[in-house]
């Protein structure tokens, strides 16, 4: 609302959106969509890679390992404070392929940034150069009357779904991309994410689905390499903010590290995109991110251990007398958009202390909520109704 009213209330001819973390990207784009002036995005960029005691650690992803390390590696409060400082060592948003990086990737895949912009770390001097080029380009876009509705076509949204699958992007893309599509008038449904994206291979070896971080991704060639590799699967004709068609922008991209970015012939996983599930628990659908799940749990049968509310979960999960084992399925109710204020990212709940102590690192978890894009695990989310 702030973005929309700021644009409407001022004599602006062209819009540059300065975005950063998870929600600022989709929200400002939605506001701009309602006005439909020439618009481009300048993403803030990820922070530099974190280092903690010789280990490369990712912001966000490290958070979900803390309870496990407290139980199994004896982490003290001082250890956790040190890890926290090491994880976030520069300006920028999360440096894993969490929701922030997913949203920046989505912007470029939609054609809303200059080519190659979304991967550049926030602290890199090239970010400033691209920002200046964006300022020059928006003036030209105004002259060309290249409005958002000319860029955000149905085919552009389909390209964004495919690219998100290939980078191992967050399940939160479903909420945000659908919201943008509805603002601009494109009919995008839950099933489209499965039909278009679920069989796309994983081409990026990055946390939480792999081992590298956004800085490594950029040095390996960044998103241009991924888009170039995906060319046979993408719509080539959508126009982007630089006035050039989508895939043409990336035809000269070179990969500098195949351990970070793979190709279609030899992907890291064959089918990695967001999958839409349906069944007796989720008649209107649920989602899972296969690239972040444990293969051995993708077909699983176990006793349901049900928590009626988030408070119920917190009260009982670490009770040593709780009747739960590693084969159980944790079911968390009442944390969806209607059930819990703000629909927080709580779907990837921590495992019980007694199971962490046994070395268990993943269990099937089912909820009507969502989870952080920085998290991993065999988690079924957005259960509806």
Contacts of 139 (CB under 8 A, 6+ apart): 14
Q: What is the distance between the alpha carbons of residues 42 and 17, in angstroms, rounded to a whole number?
A: 6
Query: What is the C-alpha separation between 217 and 164, in angstroms, rounded?
Result: 14
CA 309 to chain centre: 26
Q: How far is 145 from 357, CA to CA, in rounded Å?
A: 61
Does the pTM of the predicted model rise above 0.85?
A: yes
- Residue in this structure with the two tokens 């990336």, named with its chain if needed: 250
Q: What is the pLDDT of residues 37-58, one digit of tens each?
A: 999 999 999 999 988 888 888 8
Res. 1 pLDDT band, cuts 50 70 90: very high
State what percent of residues in the chain have pLDDT above 70: 99
- Out of 3-12, 217-226, 266-275, 308-317, which region has the weakest mean confidence (pLDDT)? 266-275
Write down the pLDDT at residue 41: 98
Q: Which of 104, 235, 102, 226 is nearest to 159 (CA)?
A: 235
Q: What is the pLDDT of residues 157-181, one digit of tens each?
A: 999 999 999 999 999 999 999 999 9
Q: Evaluate if residue 70 carries a pLDDT over 80.
A: no
* Position 65 pLDDT exceeds 80: no
Mean pLDDT of the chain: 93
CA distance 248 to 237: 9
Helix, strand or coil, per DSSP, at residue 40: strand
Q: Are 158 and 359 in contact (CB under 8 A)?
A: no
Tell me the torsion sign for CA atoms 24, 336, 378, 282.
negative
């Amino acid at each position: 609302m702030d973005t929309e009213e700021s644009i409407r209330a001022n004599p602006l001819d062209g819009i540059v959106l300065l975005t950063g973390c998870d929600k600022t990207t989709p929200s400002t784009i939605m506001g701009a969509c309602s006005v439909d002036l020439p618009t481009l995005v300048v993403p803030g960029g990820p922070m530099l890679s974190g280092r903690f005691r010789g280990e490369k650690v990712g912001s966000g992803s490290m958070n979900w390992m803390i309870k496990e390390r407290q139980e199994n590696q004896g982490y003290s409060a001082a250890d956790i404070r040190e890890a926290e400082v090491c994880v976030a060592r520069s300006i920028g948003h999360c440096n894993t392929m969490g929701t922030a990086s997913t949203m920046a990737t989505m912007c470029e895949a939609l054609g809303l940034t200059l080519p190659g912009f979304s991967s550049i770390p926030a602290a890199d001097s090239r970010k400033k150069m691209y920002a200046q080029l964006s300022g020059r380009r928006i003036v030209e876009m105004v002259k060309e009357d290249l409005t958002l509705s000319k860029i955000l076509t149905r085919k552009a949204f389909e390209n964004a779904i495919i690219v998100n699958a290939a980078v191992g992007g967050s399940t939160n893309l479903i909420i945000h991309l659908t919201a943008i599509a509805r603002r601009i008038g494109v009919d995008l449904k839950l099933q489209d994410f499965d039909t278009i994206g679920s069989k796309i291979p994983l081409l990026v070896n990055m946390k939480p689905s792999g081992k590298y971080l956004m800085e490594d991704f950029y040095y390996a060639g960044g998103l241009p390499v991924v888009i170039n590799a995906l060319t046979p699967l993408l719509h080539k004709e959508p126009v982007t903010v630089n006035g050039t068609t989508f895939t043409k922008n990336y035809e000269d991209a070179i990969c500098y590290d195949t351990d970070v970015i793979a190709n279609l012939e030899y992907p890291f996983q064959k089918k990695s995109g967001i999958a839409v599930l349906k069944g007796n628990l989720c008649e209107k659908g649920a989602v899972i991110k296969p690239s972040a799940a444990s293969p051995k749990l993708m077909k699983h049968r176990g006793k349901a251990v049900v928590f009626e509310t988030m408070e119920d979960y917190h009260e009982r999960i670490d009770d040593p007398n709780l009747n739960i084992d590693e084969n159980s399925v944790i079911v968390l109710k009442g944390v969806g958009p209607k059930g819990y204020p703000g629909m927080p990212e709580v779907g990837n709940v921590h495992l019980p202390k007694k199971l962490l102590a046994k070395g268990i690192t993943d269990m099937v978890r089912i909820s009507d909520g969502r989870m952080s894009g920085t998290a991993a695990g065999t988690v079924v989310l957005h259960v509806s109704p």
